[in-house]
A and B are shown apart, each in its own frame.
Chain A
Amino acid sequence: MNVTDRLINPVLEKEFRLRMRSVKSIVAILSYLVAMALLAFGFLYVTMNDYGMQAFNPERSQMLFYFITGSQMVLICFMTPGLTAGVISGEREKQTLNILLTTRQSSASIILSKLAASLSFMVLIVIATLPLYSMVFLFGGVSPSELISVFLFFLFVMVMLGAVGVFFSTMFKKTMVAVILTYGFTVVIYGFTGLFAIFLSAILPRGNMLAGYVLGTNPMGALLSLLNEDFSREVFGRASSLQIWHIFVPFYTLVTVLAILLSIRYLRPILRKPAGNGKQ
């Protein structure tokens, strides 16, 4: 075996090849870019009408950055489950999974390759939106380090949603069920946790940090805290240096690791030692 053989996992290579060949992928990339571009230019159009070209200052440019980033975050939550919730159940439905499972590929390498392949596709899509951000840099107001941290955050959320999608795909026979559950999970963490945090902050006395912790499970909340340090202070109080994303990252790292480990465990049937057989 030479070096490339060892580095490029066959399942990963296969996923790349098949994905890049399907028309669906191209349509996905195109529609994502069109959606992002429409949103960005829509924002520009509206603000320019209101204030005119001169008024487009760094502050407004920062607004545009927040707007693009927020939209991207929402689009990611729409795309990632669709891309990952079918990776195992899809093979099961196409009746290719059995054959794959009789090869010498380990469960871990199958699961991780599939996750990596769908995520690389998402990364490709997100990187394809970089030119949109050039508009922001044109007008200033945003530092490259902010942009980098936002992209890292995107990557983190994609890995997490992807792992959950792969988990449901492994545990449920039907892709349809896996897709619905993954979107259900997404709706819960994007919407439900946010609403719950608002509700808690309304009924709990000032200074109680529970609402902040709940918001810490919300990607939008974590993103806001990443973009604006003052946001966390509003939730956790002036004195606290705790940031919402400080809760988000460890919590979902745990979720991601668990989802991946369980997928690896349950991909193949658990071949227990039959009862009555002594140790050989």
Chain B
Amino acid sequence: MIEIKDLTKRYGSFTAVDSLTMDIAKGTVFGFVGPNGAGKSTTMSILATLLAPTSGSAKVGGFEVTEHPGDVRRLIGYMPDFFGVYDNFKTTEYLDFYGASYGLSRAERKKIIPQLLELVNLSDKAEFYVDSLSRGMKQRLCLARCLVHEPELLILDEPASGMDPRARIEMREILKELKLMGKTIIISSHILPELAEMVDEIGVIEQGRLIAKGRVSDIQQGMRANRVLHIRLLEREDEALAMLAEEPYVSMSYLDEQGIHLHFGGTDADQAALLGRLIGHGYRVVSYSEAQTNLEDVFMEITKGAKLS
């Protein structure tokens, strides 16, 4: 659906996107992660035909963005990171305007607008003026707007920024539904764990370069293989440590004020069996838990081998 090759964007001597190369398959939900100023929005603007690249090529649905911007616009729904709304419009009028701008007939608009409002949970706000909506509602409205011409590709630039946790969960549900509808989605964020929950594939961009790209399922496997167990006993912790170090699947172990830390590579069943043996040896276990692993670390670890660009 998207083919980017050696895409470069310079502002004067500053390189915002640096020979970026990547493909995104049809039907994939792709997460674009990176710190502030990494070049996410720049890349997405180029895909949305709003910005001319300095060099390189970007294709959407087979159309080069610089050569066939009209065809690209038909295929995409773009949600910018910052956007405004026409305050004096009512919610339905707002969607109606964009529907008309995409060349939908009155009948088509009449049909799709209630469906879209239903999808983003704004049906009860249909007759409200847009400026009376809360920020999260405006974001959902903007998402509905992206969908009005039934595009195949959604380019969502930080769609969940400024949303409260509940709204984020709702947003995730909406994205799930869109995925089921077969849409390709590219979505940016600077929070990896949040993104990992809603996408299939993740690309990490830093200083305009794609430094890692991989499937979320691989990351989850990686997480399982690298989990850290945290164990607290009532007494005799150093004795237990010596025993645990001999156990299979334990790659590293140490003791501090918080208790015993084990790097454990086994399955869930191995982990349960280990607890059984601890108790069998008469240790009084206060807590036995998985420590939160750092997703970023695991992700970088997993994708390090794959050479990109």
Contacts and interface: CB of A to CB of B under 8 A. Distances in A.
Query: Do A and B form a real pair?
Result: yes
Interface of A: 1-2, 4-5, 10-11, 13-14, 17-18, 21-22, 94-96, 98-105, 268-277, 280
Interface stretch (B21-29, B53-61, B223-231): B53-61
A276 B53 CA distance: 13
**8 nearest A-B residue pairs (beta carbon):** A10-B100, A95-B84, A103-B101, A94-B84, A271-B66, A21-B88, A96-B84, A269-B52
A98 B102 CA distance: 14
A273 B66 contact: yes
B99 to A, nearest CB: 8
A18 B86 contact: yes
Contacts, number: 97
Interface string B61-72: 000111101100
A162 B66 CA distance: 31
Given A11-B101, A96-B86, A99-B83, A273 B50 contact: no
B35 interface: no
A182 to B, nearest CB: 23
B73 interface: yes
B78 interface: yes
Q: Which label, helix, strand, loop or mixed, suits the secondary structure of the A interface? A: loop
B145 interface: yes
Given A96-B84, A275-B55, 13 more contacts: A2-B105, A2-B106, A17-B89, A95-B83, A98-B45, A98-B80, A99-B80, A101-B49, A102-B48, A102-B78, A103-B73, A104-B102, A271-B65
Contact of A22 (B49, B83, B88, B101): B88
A104 B103 contact: yes
Nearest to B106: A5
23 contacts: A1-B105, A2-B105, A2-B106, A5-B100, A10-B97, A10-B101, A13-B97, A14-B86, A17-B93, A18-B88, A94-B84, A95-B82, A99-B78, A100-B101, A101-B49, A103-B98, A103-B101, A104-B102, A105-B101, A271-B69, A273-B66, A274-B54, A274-B55
B272 interface: no
Contacts of A96: 83-86
A21 B97 CA distance: 16
B195 interface: no
Q: Which of A18, A102, A274, A275 has the most CB of B within 10 A?
A: A102
B73 A104 contact: yes
A209 to B, nearest CB: 47
A269 B48 CA distance: 12
Interface of B: 45, 48-57, 64-67, 69-70, 73-74, 76, 78, 80, 82-86, 88-89, 93, 97-98, 100-103, 105-106, 142, 145, 149
Contact of B101 (A2, A104, A276): A104
Contacts of B52: 269-272
B162 to A, nearest CB: 14
A98 B98 CA distance: 13
B66 A102 contact: no
B105 A5 contact: yes
Contacts of B66: 271-274
B230 to A, nearest CB: 47
A234 to B, nearest CB: 51
A102 B149 CA distance: 12
Given A104-B73, A274-B55, A95 B101 contact: no
A94 B98 CA distance: 16
A280 B59 CA distance: 13
Nearest to A22: B88
A14 B99 CA distance: 12
B242 to A, nearest CB: 63
A269 B101 contact: no
Nearest to A277: B57
Contact of A13 (B69, B76, B100): B100
Contacts of A105: 101
A274 B57 contact: yes
Contacts of B102: 103-104
Contact of B67 (A13, A22, A94, A280): A280
A256 B250 CA distance: 79
B6 to A, nearest CB: 9
B187 to A, nearest CB: 16
A104 B70 CA distance: 7
Contacts of A10: 97, 100-101
Contacts of B53: 274
B250 to A, nearest CB: 54
A101 B88 contact: no
